[in-house]
Amino acid sequence: MQGTVDGFSYGIVTPLVAYLMACLGGALGLRCTTRSMLVARSRRPAWLALGSAAIGSGIWTMHFIAMMGFTVDGTPIHYDKPMTFASLALAIVMVGVGIFIVGSRGARGTALFTGGTITGLGIASMHYLGMAGLRLDGRLEYNTLTVAASVVIAMLAATAALWAAGQVRGVLWSVGASLVMGLAASGMHYTGMAALRVHVHGTGGPGDSPASLLAPMLVGPLAFLLLAGAVMIFGPKTVLGQPKEAPAEEKPGVPARAAVPRQIRRPAQTARRTVRRAPRTPQNH
C-alpha cells in the first residue's frame, strides 16, 4: 500500500528555517574559504577546515529541520542515530575536499569544476545517506530521473557558490554566494523528496513526532554554527575581507622584498670651539 507523504506538516515554517540554516552554514564556510585565499599558506588549512565544518553542519541541519515536517500516514517514523550522524561526517569530509581544492588552487578552471562537483556530490550524498537512516514500517522508492536532477542541481549551485566566494570582492559577493549555497542544499533536498515514494507494509501505532525525535540531535551542530557565527561577527577584518597583512615573503606568489640598506646620517659637524687666549701682559724686568 502506498503511503501518503507530507513534507510540509508545519507549512512554510520548516522550509524557510531550513533554507536560512543552509545560508548561515554557507555564509560562514564560504567566508572562511575567501579568508584562506588572503592569508599566508601556512594558515590556509585551518580556515578551510573550519569552512568545511560550517558548510557540512549547515546543510545537515537544513536537511533535518526540513525533515521535521516529513510525515507518512499509517506508520510512525524513527531515525537510526549512527546512520544519521554518519551523514553529517560524510557531508563535512566531501565538502572539505571540494573547498580545499578551490582554496588551494583558486576558483577557476579545472579546480573550480572539480571542487564544485565534489561539493555538490557531498550535499547529495548527505541527503540520501540521511534518508537511508529513516526507519518506518514500509519501503522507500525513488524516481531515477528526479534523483539525477537533484544531484545536478546540487553540483551546479555549489559550483556557482564557490565561484562567487572565490572572487574575493567583499561582503556582498559573500552574501550572494551563501544564498546560492543555501539554494543548492534546499533545492537538492526538495527535489530529492519529490522523487520519493513510500510503500507502507502495515498499520503501525502512533509514534513520536519528528520534531521531538530530531531536535536533540540538532543541538550540537546548531551550537557549532552559532559559535562560528559569533567568531566571524566579532572579527571585523574577517567579515570585511581585510585580514591582517602578512609579510611579503609569506604570501603565495609574492617575492620577498630585497632588504634596503638604511642610510646612516652623519651627525652634524659641531662648531669649532674658539679658544680664548689670555691677553699678553708686559713682563716686568
Q: Where are the alpha helices (DSSP H) in 133-209?
A: 144-165, 171-194
Q: Which three cell numbers stand for residue 65?
A: 529541520
Give the DSSP letter of residue 57: H
104: Cβ contacts below 8 Å, ≥ 6 apart? 44, 48, 111
- pLDDT, tens only, 6-44: 778 788 898 999 999 888 888 888 888 777 777 778 888
Distant-in-sequence, close-in-space partners of 197: CB < 8 Å, separation ≥ 6: 2, 5, 140, 141, 142, 143
Instruction: Name the residue among 2, 3, 154, 167 with its Cα closest to residue 76.
Output: 3
Query: How much is the pLDDT for 262?
Result: 53
Query: Which grid cell is 134?
Result: 529513516
User: Among positive and negative, which fits the CA dihedral 115, 153, 139, 213?
Assistant: positive
| 8 A C-beta contact, residue 88 and residue 57 | yes
Least confident of 84-88, 114-118, 209-213: 209-213
pLDDT of residue 145: 95
Q: Running DSSP on this structure, what letter comes out for residue 43?
A: G
The pLDDT value recorded for residue 168 is: 58
**pTM for the complete prediction?**
0.74
Q: What percent of the chain has pLDDT over 90?
A: 26
Under DSSP, is residue 223 helix (H, G, I), strand (E, B) or coil?
helix
Which range is most confident: 132-136, 218-222, 253-257? 132-136
Judged against a pLDDT cut of 50, whether residue 258 lies above it is answered with: no
Mean pLDDT over 91-102 rounds to 90
Any idea what DSSP says for residue 97?
A: H
Alpha-carbon distances, residue 229 vs 14, 44, 98, 103, 220 (angstroms): 21, 19, 22, 20, 14
The three-class DSSP label of residue 79 is strand
